[in-house]
Structure 1
Amino acid sequence: MLAETICSAVSAAGLGIAAITAYRRRFLAATRIAAYSLVPVGLVMTGVVDWLSGIVFEPSVWIGFALLASAWLLFMTTRAVERRGGGTRKERRAARAASRDAAVAPAASAPPAVSGAAGSSPQTRGGSEKKRQPAPGDDFSDIEAILKKHGI
């Protein structure tokens, strides 16, 4: 009963404000205000207000909301743990093995070191040799130069 009275008062006040706005020749705004002010009365007449007030004052409903919130919290906690790398033992072992294999593969494919006379260079040997491939550590030298240029 109290909720219906409050909704009716809010609607009446809104319609009064809409009338004042229309008097000031702001018809579009007055129409919008009138539409908003009719919503509470519509909710009362459809029974939504009774249904909502029954939910708000029912303790079992609040216990249900608390259970839903705790379930959501548990789901989010498990997702956060998974993202940090807290998977199963098999998953961790597989990840370690993959990282070990990735670390060994570039070292095995690296070109063997060239042994030659001291002070000899490709230019002194006739220049017929191809340019030597950059070492794996030299791949990021251009990126490092750009970062140093910008002071990073």
Structure 2
Amino acid sequence: MEGTYHPDLEDRMLAETICSAVSVAGLGIAAIAAYRKRFLSATRIAAYALVPLGLVMTGAVQWIVDTAFSPVAWAGFGVLGLALLLFMSTRAVERRRGGRRQTGGGAEPKAVAPAASAASRGVTAAQPRAGQAPGDDFSDIEAILKKHGI
């Protein structure tokens, strides 16, 4: 089968050649950095340079090339993008409503302890906590919790 064109094989070989060349160039730069006695930088550069070579050796490059030229894979990415868009739009709607969810029975979500007294929280009007103004018994925290429906 000499002279036969195999686009998948040639694309994969091109990607593997590029990754190998990037690794060799990175290792050369790491050697120069080590020669200049910048060993920490040289080690970090060598680590980055070995990643493309490792991807080639594990077959990840072949998988990436096969995925990049597959219409089914691109359709799958489109479906994943649509799912992400739907998730984000529902989050945006929830935030606009103030975190309230509509329930089928018409019942509003209730707070766990809506009528908790100051005494049950350990704060009395006569004895405010240290650094707290009298009468300021977590009303700002309660407002935030109510805002989020807690």
Task: State the TM bucket, normalised to the shorter chain.
Answer: 0.5 to 0.7
Unaligned runs of 5+ in 2: 1-12, 111-134, 137-150
Displacement of 1:51 in angstroms is 0.6
Alignment of 1:3-152 (within 5 A): 3-83=15-95, 84=97, 87-88=102-103, 90-91=105-106, 94-95=107-108
Post-superposition, which runs of at least 4 consecutive aligned residues in structure 1 deviate over 4 A?
A: none
Q: 1:40 to 1:89 in 2, by over 3 A?
A: closer
Q: Which has the higher helix share?
A: 1
| Higher-RCO chain (CA-CA 8 Å, sequence separation at least 6) | 2
Write the letter of the residue equivalent to 1:87: Q
Secondary structure, aligned partner of 1:17: helix
Identity among equivalent positions (%) equals 66
Displacement of 1:64 in angstroms is 0.9
1:53-92: CA deviation from partner (whole Å, max 9, x where unpaired):
111111111111111221222233234334415725643x
Q: Under a length normalisation based on structure 1, what TM-score does the superposition of the two structures give?
A: 0.54
Q: Under a length normalisation based on structure 2, what TM-score does the superposition of the two structures give?
A: 0.55
Take 2:94 and 2:42, find their aligned partners in 1: how far apart are those partners? Answer: 54
Q: 1:80 to 1:23 in 2, by over 3 A?
A: closer
Secondary structure, aligned partner of 1:87: coil
Report the aligned-residue RMSD: 2.7
Unaligned runs of 5+ in 1: 99-138, 141-152
Q: 1:63 to 1:27 in 2, by over 3 A?
A: same
